[in-house]
């Protein structure tokens, strides 16, 4: 049976989800632009009750997709 993994003291535990402000900061865009990307379906969001969150992985994939060769 797999053991539950609990973070050890001093270990790095990166956040999986960030709020709108943090997501906008990560993308270096305004919160309004972030909202537009979400409304247009270009960037997925996760709704947990009334809170909207963004997956750090989705943000990274969006950044990678914007890369110009």
Q: Reply yes or no on whether the pLDDT at 62 is more than 70.
A: yes
Q: What residues does each domain of the chain span?
A: 17-66
Q: What is the pLDDT of residue 14?
A: 78
Q: Name the nearest CA neighbour of 66 among 20, 33, 32.
A: 33
Please, what is the angle between helix 56-66 and helix 20-27, to 10°?
A: 30
Mean pLDDT of the chain: 89
Residues 6 or more apart in contact with residue 21 via CB below 8 angstroms: 31
CA 57 to chain centre: 6
- Span 30-53, pLDDT tens digits: 999 999 999 999 999 999 999 999
């Amino acid at each position: 049976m797999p053991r539950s993994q609990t973070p050890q003291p001093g270990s790095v535990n990166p956040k999986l989800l960030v709020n709108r402000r943090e997501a906008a900061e990560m993308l270096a865009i305004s919160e309004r632009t972030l909202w537009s990307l979400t409304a247009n379906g270009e960037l997925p969001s996760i709704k947990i009750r009334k809170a909207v969150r963004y997956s750090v992985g989705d943000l990274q994939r969006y950044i990678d997709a914007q890369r110009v060769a």
